[in-house]
Amino acid sequence: MIFPRHVFPAGGFLLLLAILAGGCAPRETTVDRDSRAGVLHLSIGSEPADLDPQTVTGTGDAKIIQSLFDPLVSYEPVTLAPVPALAERWEISADGLTYTFHLRPAARWSNQDPLTAQDVVDSWRRILTPALGAEYAYFLYLLRGAEAFHKGGTTDFATVGVKARDAHTLVVTLAHPAPYFLQVLLNSPWRPVHLRSIAAVGDPYQRGTKWTLPGALVSSGPFVLKEWTLNRRVVVEKSPTYWDRARVGLNAMHFYPIEQIEAEERAFRAGQLHLTWALPLAKVQPLQREKSPLLRIDPLLETLFFRLNTRRAPFNDVRVRRALALAIDRDTLVSRTLPGDRQPAPTFVPPLLAGYTPPARRAHDPAAARQLLAEAGFPGGAGLPPIEILYSNSEIFRLVTEAIQQMWRRELGLEVRLANQEKKVVFERRRTGDYQVALASWTADYLDATTFLDMWRSDSGNNQTGWSDPAYDALANRANTMADAKARAAVLAQAESLVLEAAPIVPIFFNTHVYLLHPAVKGWQPTPMEHSDYRYVSLQP
Q: Does 306 lie in the same domain as 269?
A: no
Inter-CA distances, 308 with 56, 295, 415, 474, Å: 22, 35, 16, 22
In a domain, 3, yes or no: no
Query: Is the Cβ–Cβ distance between 352 and 456 less than 8 Å?
Result: no
The number of residues making up the chain comes to 541
In a domain, 237, yes or no: yes
Q: Does 364 lie in the same domain as 468?
A: yes
Q: Which amino acid is at 333?
A: L
pLDDT value, residue 470: 98
Query: Is the Cβ–Cβ distance between 249 and 539 less than 8 Å?
Result: yes
Please tell me the distance from the alpha carbon of residue 30 to that of residue 41, in angstroms, as a whole number: 9
Where are the alpha helices (H) located in 101-185, listed in sequence order? 117-128, 146-150, 181-184
Q: Does 152 lie in the same domain as 295?
A: no
Q: Does 285 lie in the same domain as 323?
A: no
| 164 CA to centre of own chain | 30
| Partners of 513 in the β-ladder | 298
DSSP β-ladder status, 169-173 and 162-166:
antiparallel
CATH number, position 103: 3.90.76.10
Q: Does 314 lie in the same domain as 283?
A: no
Q: Does 316 lie in the same domain as 450?
A: yes
Neighbours of 520 (CB within 10 A): 16
Residue that is last in its domain, among 145, 164, 199: 199
Given CA atoms 52, 41, 47, 511 in this order, what sign does their dihedral have?
A: negative
In a domain, 195, yes or no: yes
Please tell me the distance from the alpha carbon of residue 433 to that of residue 24, in angstroms, as a whole number: 49
Where are the alpha helices (H) located in 392-461, listed in sequence order? 395-412, 423-431, 450-453
Please tell me the distance from the alpha carbon of residue 298 to that of residue 421, in angstroms, as a whole number: 28
SS (H, E, C) 239-302: CCCCCCCCCCCCCEEEEECCCCHHHHHHHHHCCCCCECCCCCHHHHHHHHHCCCCCEEEECCCE
Q: Does 143 lie in the same domain as 93?
A: yes
In a domain, 62, yes or no: no
pLDDT value, residue 472: 98
| 28 CA to centre of own chain | 35
In a domain, 58, yes or no: no
Q: What share of the chain is helix, strand, coil (3-state, %, to 5)?
A: 35, 20, 45
Residue that is last in its domain, among 133, 167, 199: 199
Q: What phi, psi does 48 have (nearest 5°)?
A: -60, 140
- pLDDT below 70 — which residues of the chain? 1-26
Please tell me the distance from the alpha carbon of residue 434 to that of residue 315, in angstroms, as a whole number: 13
Write out the H or E segment, with its range, that includes residue 88: strand 87-92
- DSSP letter at 387 equals E
CATH number, position 30: 3.40.190.10
In a domain, 168, yes or no: yes
Q: Does 498 lie in the same domain as 518?
A: no
Q: Does 289 lie in the same domain as 262?
A: yes
- DSSP letter at 159 equals G
Domain of residue 241 covers 13-51+221-299+514-539
pLDDT value, residue 26: 57
Using DSSP, state whether 120 is helix, strand or coil.
Answer: helix
In a domain, 374, yes or no: yes
In a domain, 6, yes or no: no
96 closest CA partner among 173, 184, 185: 173
Please tell me the distance from the alpha carbon of residue 455 to that of residue 96, in angstroms, as a whole number: 24
Q: Does 169 lie in the same domain as 21?
A: no
Query: Is the Cβ–Cβ distance between 479 and 450 less than 8 Å?
Result: yes
Helix axis angle for 470-480 and 485-502, nearest 10°, is: 160
CATH number, position 455: 3.10.105.10
pLDDT value, residue 536: 93
Please tell me the distance from the alpha carbon of residue 262 to that of residue 268, in angstroms, as a whole number: 10
Please tell me the distance from the alpha carbon of residue 483 to that of residue 497, in angstroms, as a whole number: 21
Please tell me the distance from the alpha carbon of residue 117 to that of residue 100, in angstroms, as a whole number: 11
Q: Does 378 lie in the same domain as 274?
A: no
Structural domain total, the chain: 3
pLDDT value, residue 6: 37
Q: Does 356 lie in the same domain as 247?
A: no
